[in-house]
C-alpha cells in the first residue's frame, strides 16, 4: 500500500524556481513507486471570499501593488494559477486523509499568509483553508518549519475549529495566542539543537493525542536541515527522519488522520526534494506496519532512556 498523494502539473504554472522542488519530488516518487497520484481541481479565486480579505483577493486577480506582491513572490497569472491549484489540492488531500488515514499534498501549506495579505513566500493560507471549508472538523496544525507559522496563528484567532502548534528556530513574528502554541527551540551556542527540537516535538504530540482532533495538518519542512542556508535549527538528516517517524507513527497509533504538506526548503531543488522523498518513504513504512499497541512516543522515550542508562 502506498500513501495517497495529490499533485498537478498546474503546480508549476508560475515558472518560479521556488516551486521546482515539488516537481522533482513528483518525478522521483513516481519512479520509485512510492505514491498513488491524484490530480485535483483548482479552486476559483471567488472560493476564497470571506476567507481572505476582498481587497487582497481583488489585488491578486489584477496584480495591483503592493498587496499582490505582499508574499514577496513576483505576481503573475501563472503564480495565481499555481496557488489556486495547490489550494484545490489541499482540500482534495484533506478528504483523502480522512478516508485513508494519511495523505500528502506535494505543495506548500503557505503558513505565512494572513487573512488580509500574503507574507514570506506564501500567497493564500492553505492550512487555515481546510478548517474554514470543513467547519464540522476540529483541525490542528503541527508546523515543523524553520520559521514560525505567523499567518496560521492569525487565522486561529478567527476560526474556532482551528488550532496550531509551531516548533521553530526562527520566530518570524509568531508569539503564541488564541488556539496557538509556539515552541521556540533554544539556541545554545556550540550545542546541537536536535535534542531540544525532539523534546518539543514529543510535548506537541502529547498535546495532540490528548485533544484528539478530527484531522492533523503536518508541515514536514526541509528548511530546518543542517545544510539549508536559512536554517538556524540545523537538524541532521537522521533527526528529520526521526521527526517524521514519531509524528506519523503516533498519529496512526491514535487513529488521527493526517494530511502532510512539505513547507520550506532553500537548498537546490533536488537536495530539498531528497529530504521530502525521505518523508514519503517514512510514510510508506508507517503504513506498511501494523498499528502498534503501545504509544510509539512513549516506547521511544523508554528506549532512549535505556540507551543512556
Span 211-231, pLDDT tens digits? 999 999 999 999 999 999 999
Query: CA-CA distance, 51 to 68, in Å (whole number)?
Result: 16
pLDDT at site 173: 87
Q: How many domains does the chain have?
A: 1
Q: What are the 10-residue block averages of pLDDT along the chain, 309 residues in total? A: 94 95 96 93 98 99 98 98 98 98 97 98 99 99 97 98 97 92 84 92 98 98 95 96 98 98 93 97 92 68 45
User: Which pTM value belongs to this model?
Assistant: 0.94
The DSSP output letter for 177 is B
- Scanning the chain, the segments in alpha helix (DSSP H) are 20-31, 54-62, 77-100, 126-133, 150-156, 194-211, 237-253, 269-288, 296-308
> What's the pLDDT score for residue 25?
96
pLDDT the model gives residue 309: 40
pLDDT at 12: 97
Tell me, what's the pLDDT at 293?
67
pLDDT of residue 305: 46
3-class state of residue 48 by DSSP: helix
In angstroms, rounded to a whole number, what is the distance separating the alpha carbons of residues 104 and 243? Answer: 16
Host domain of residue 168: 3-308
> What is residue 291's predicted lDDT score, i.e. its pLDDT?
77
Residue with cell 508574499: 71
Measured between alpha carbons, how far apart are the two ends of the chain, in Å?
38
Query: CATH no. for residue 20?
Result: 3.40.800.20
Please name which of 10, 8, 41, 40 lies closest in space to residue 26, comparing C-alpha atoms: 8
CA 179, CA 131: separation in Å to the nearest integer? 13
pLDDT in tens, 37-91: 999 999 999 999 999 999 999 999 999 999 999 999 999 999 999 999 999 999 9
Amino acid at each position: 500500500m502506498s500513501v495517497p498523494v495529490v499533485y498537478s502539473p498546474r503546480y508549476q504554472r508560475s515558472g518560479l524556481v521556488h516551486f521546482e522542488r515539488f516537481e522533482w519530488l513528483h518525478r522521483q516518487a513516481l519512479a520509485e513507486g512510492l505514491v498513488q497520484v491524484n490530480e485535483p481541481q483548482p479552486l476559483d479565486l471567488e472560493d476564497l471570499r470571506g476567507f481572505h480579505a476582498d481587497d487582497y483577493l481583488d489585488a491578486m486577480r489584477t496584480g495591483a501593488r503592493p498587496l499582490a506582491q505582499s508574499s514577496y513572490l513576483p505576481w503573475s497569472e501563472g503564480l495565481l494559477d499555481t496557488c489556486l491549484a495547490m489550494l484545490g489540492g489541499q482540500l482534495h488531500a484533506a478528504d483523502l486523509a480522512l478516508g485513508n488515514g494519511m495523505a500528502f499534498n506535494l505543495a506548500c501549506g503557505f503558513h505565512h499568509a494572513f487573512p488580509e495579505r500574503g507574507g514570506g513566500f506564501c500567497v493564500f493560507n492553505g492550512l487555515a483553508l481546510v478548517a474554514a471549508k470543513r467547519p464540522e472538523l476540529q483541525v490542528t496544525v503541527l508546523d515543523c518549519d524553520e520559521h514560525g507559522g505567523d499567518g496560521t496563528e492569525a487565522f486561529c484567532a478567527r476560526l474556532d475549529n482551528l488550532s496550531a502548534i509551531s516548533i521553530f528556530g526562527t520566530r518570524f513574528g509568531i508569539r503564541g495566542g488564541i488556539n496557538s502554541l509556539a515552541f521556540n527551540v533554544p539556541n545554545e551556542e556550540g550545542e546541537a539543537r536536535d535534542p531540544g527540537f525532539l523534546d518539543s516535538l514529543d510535548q506537541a504530540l502529547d498535546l495532540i493525542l490528548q485533544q484528539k482532533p478530527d484531522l492533523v495538518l503536518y508541515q514536514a519542512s526541509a528548511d530546518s536541515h543542517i545544510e539549508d542556508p536559512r536554517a538556524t535549527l540545523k537538524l541532521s538528516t537522521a533527526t528529520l527522519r526521526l521527526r517524521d517517524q514519531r509524528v506519523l507513527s503516533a498519529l496512526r497509533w491514535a487513529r488521527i488522520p493526517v494530511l502532510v504538506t512539505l513547507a520550506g526548503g532553500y537548498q537546490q531543488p533536488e537536495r530539498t526534494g531528497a529530504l521530502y522523498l525521505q518523508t514519503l518513504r517514512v510514510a510508506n513504512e508507517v503504513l506498511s506496519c501494523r498499528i502498534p499497541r503501545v504509544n510509539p512516543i512513549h516506547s521511544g522515550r523508554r528506549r532512549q532512556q535505556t540507551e543512556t542508562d
